[in-house]
Every structure is written in C-alpha cells, then in structure tokens.
Amino acid sequence: MRQGEVTSKGKWTGDPSGGVKAPQALILPDPAVRFARTAARLLSLSVGHPMMEWLRFMAQLAQAQDFVATTLRPFAGPDQTVVHQAVEARMPPLAADGHRRDPAWREGLAMLLDAVDRAPIPAPARAVAADLRARDVGELDDLADQFLHAAVASADAGAALYVAAALQVYFTRLAADLPAAALRLLPQRGLCPCCGSTPVSGVVTASGNTPGSRYLYCSLCATAWNHVRAVCITCGESRSLSLQGIEGDSGIVKAESCDGCHTYAKMLYLAHDGKADPLADDLATLGLDLLVAEAGWSRHAPNPFLLVGSDDG
C-alpha cells in the first residue's frame, strides 16, 4: 500500500502529505514504516552534523524500535466498547497515564535491549542497557509509570531513554489498530486524540489538494491530528504568534512562539524538504531550542528522548 491510501477499514496510514482530498481530522500511524523512516532520516541528518555521533546512536535506537515494531507478537488493545465510551466522554481511548499495559510492552523492551546490544553503541549506553536488563518486572513497570507521568528520577534518566523507546513501539502498535472512523479530536486540541500525550512537533504539508495543512505528531503513539494554523497549540491564542528560525539555515524547522503564554513548538515545513521527520528533525535542531530558550520562551512539551530527571522524582 502506498502512503496516503485508504485501507479497507477506511483509516489513513502514513504521511498526510500524500494526496488527501481534504484535511483528515487524524491519521493513525503505520508501525511498518514509522521507525524505519525516523532511523533513515536521523542517519541522513547526522552527516556533517556537530552532534553526528549522538544522532547516529539515536538512529540505531530507531532501527531497534523498527525491529521490535515489526516482530513483536500480536497483543490486544482496548475493545470496541471501551473505545466508544472513551470517545463519547471526549477522552483518549489509550490514555497514557491510565492505560493498563499488556505485558507485551516489557517483551518489546527486552527485544529492543537485545537489538541495541548487537549495535556498535557507546559504552555508557551499553552499561545503562545492561543495568535495565537486570531489573525485575515491578521496577520496569514503575519506571514506565514514572516516564508516562513525567516523574523520572535523575538517576534513572538514562534508563528512561530505552523505556521511552519501548513504550513508543507499544503505543504505536496499539494506535494503529484503533477504529479511525470512530475517533474524535479532544477538546484540548494540543493533545493526542488517541493517547492524550503532547506532540513532539508539527508538520505543515506541501502537496495534495490541501497543501499548507498543519498536523501535530504525537510524541508517544505517532498519531497525527489536524490543528488549525496561526493558533498557539498551548493556549489557543493567535494574536501574538511569530516564527523563529536560525538565520541562513534551510528553513525546514521553525519555532512557533507565543508571546501570550511564552511557549513555543517546533514546526516542520515539507515544502523545504519532503523527507522531514517529526522526531528526527526535532532532535537534529537542538540549536534552535537553545536560541529560543535564551530569548525567553519555554518549549510546549519536551521530546521524550530529552527528558531531564527530577531529583525528587
């Protein structure tokens, strides 16, 4: 199936830039391509980049995620009744902070750690993976809960990277199987309609019958949902928005800043590069985050791979 085609269930898969007649409210992820695409983009962006080694490590992690996403055993998500009840209550059916996880997520974590161990990763990253592999079931579930509630202790910040990667695979697989036609956007338009998480970045399309549409991409389950442009995704205001960028760069990634709530969010413009990836291009433009932060804006929500642990977490 080509990206942008409609499945037999009537759900859209892949990139929203692919020939959609009208902006779809939401687009469910395709686990078969989601992580492979991110890995390829990270490798491409790493060439000549000041953070080349780190981006290549993140590419290896994404390759491990792709392996897990395409080989992990099938597991059941919420039944149709639960999904319907959540949608009727204007709640996300896979609410990240309340969903009862299938043990498959831990199996995915074990597979991911094994795949990472086979890659030429830095020694410190390998040591963190070994430590995480030695933890018992209860400790792993506790760490997952802490990550999903943004309460990871500083000492566990490294381990949380792998847990986040495993949870991304788990929730992406769950979201892909939801009945797209039954889903609705949440009243809080800046939150994912499937799992309630914040977006990692936004993408402005460049092709199809509605070029210029904006989609926000979930940092956890990779669902994309349509969000009107020129409106702050944090506070909903539109009077004090502006785009910030690094002078002389490609213009692919901009920071949409709001003087009303003093937050910003990354936006990717496919007109400048159709291969831009919501997570990969965000990680590769940390310099833009530093400049915007120095100017006084706070990021709308962190990239899940860049969470800073809390000493009292």
Task: Name residue, tokens 């499945």.
Answer: 7
225, 192 in Cβ contact below 8 A?
yes
Angle between helices 52-71 and 31-46 (to 10 degrees): 170
- Which pLDDT belongs to residue 21? 60
Each residue's pLDDT, cut to its tens digit, for the chain (313 residues) gives 233 333 333 333 345 544 446 688 999 999 999 999 999 999 999 999 999 999 999 999 999 999 999 999 999 899 999 999 999 999 999 999 889 999 999 999 999 999 999 999 999 999 999 999 999 999 999 999 999 999 999 999 999 999 999 999 999 999 999 999 999 999 999 999 999 999 999 999 997 667 899 999 999 999 999 999 989 999 998 888 999 998 878 899 999 999 999 999 999 999 999 999 999 999 999 999 999 999 999 999 989 998 654 554 3
Amino acid at 222: A
Say how far apart CA 233 and CA 262 lie, in whole Å: 12
Q: What is the pTM of this model?
A: 0.90
45, 253 in Cβ contact below 8 A?
no
Task: Name residue, tokens 């833009």.
Answer: 288
114, 126 in Cβ contact below 8 A?
no
Segments making up each domain of the chain, as ranges: 31-182
Q: Residues of 89-122 as b/e, b for ≥16 C-beta within 10 angstroms? A: eeebbbbbeebebbebbbbbbebbbebbeeeebe
Two structure tokens written together for 201:
């970045």
Closest C-alpha to 266, from 202, 213, 204, 311:
202
Neighbours of 50 (CB within 10 A): 10
Q: What is the DSSP string of 195-247?
A: T-PPEEEEEE--SSSSTT-EEEEETTT--EEE--TTS-TTT---TTEEEE--T
- Which pLDDT belongs to residue 273? 95
- Which pLDDT belongs to residue 3? 34
CATH class for domain 31-182?
alpha beta
| SS3 of residue 269 by DSSP | strand
